[in-house]
Amino acid sequence: MSLPKLWSFHHILMLSAFTSAANGYYYYRWSQCIYSSSDLSDMVFLDGYYFNKNLYLQFNSTVGKFVGFTKVGVRDAENFNKDQAFLQYLRAEVDTFCKHNALQYDTTIHDKAVAPKVKLSLVRKGDSRHPSLLMCSAYDFYPEKITVSWLRNGKVVTSDVTSTEKMPNGDWYYQIHTELEYIPKAGEKISCMVDHAGFQKPMIYDWNPPLPEFEWNTPLLFTVGVAGLMLGIITAAAGLIYYKST
């Protein structure tokens, strides 16, 4: 079952009986279109009236009339429900405003998918006794639904995995980060698999560990030094023999 979707708009008015805005009274009207089905058959139009954040009057397209929630709201509902032309106008908002804008939204925004940018990075380097920590990050994707999994030699890893929640960037896009802690083993393959509507199929990203740095140690330096010395002696001897022969 898909989550309800919402279209809404506000009309806000401040009525102040004092010179200070902090002591004012706030009245606003909040119109909402709520639906979850792809064919918009369950579309509901709500038109609510609020005073100081308290809902006191609301029109519900399912009910087809105004309902009051306070003494003032009940009185206003009785008056509004006498105006059949106004009620007919609000009932029609399900089609003229809600469904019209929802179709535009679904075709231009909601049904569009932007594939994530995926990056694998080494957070902590390990060895045969200490675990490594890898991070798989997915950036700038839409819609929000995404699955990020770790694979070890082609099999899904379920332990030693931590993930963040899907986080909105504030620009319609999302990001998510997941980490894998593991002990490196020679010859194994570690991968990050990302499944998103922006891909035709789940994408697999293999981790390619950096090449180990060349370590200079004392025995190696001694061997290189001896080899260099021998090469120098041979070169000098060859030069001396050539000099004597001439």
pLDDT, one tens digit per residue, over 111-140 is: 678 999 999 999 988 776 778 899 999 999
Which has more confidence, 18 or 234? 234
pLDDT, one tens digit per residue, over 44-96 is: 999 999 998 899 999 999 999 999 999 999 999 999 999 999 999 999 999 99
> What is the number of helices (H) and of strands (E) in the chain?
4, 14
Which domains are present in the chain? 5-110 (3.10.320.10), 117-206 (2.60.40.10)
Q: Where are the alpha helices (DSSP H) in 3-141?
A: 71-80, 84-93, 100-105
Is residue 167 predicted with pLDDT exceeding 80?
A: yes
When mean pLDDT is compared over 167-171, 204-208, 229-233, 236-240, the highest value belongs to: 204-208
Confidence of residue 236 (pLDDT cuts 50, 70, 90): low
**Local structure of 240: helix, strand or coil:** helix
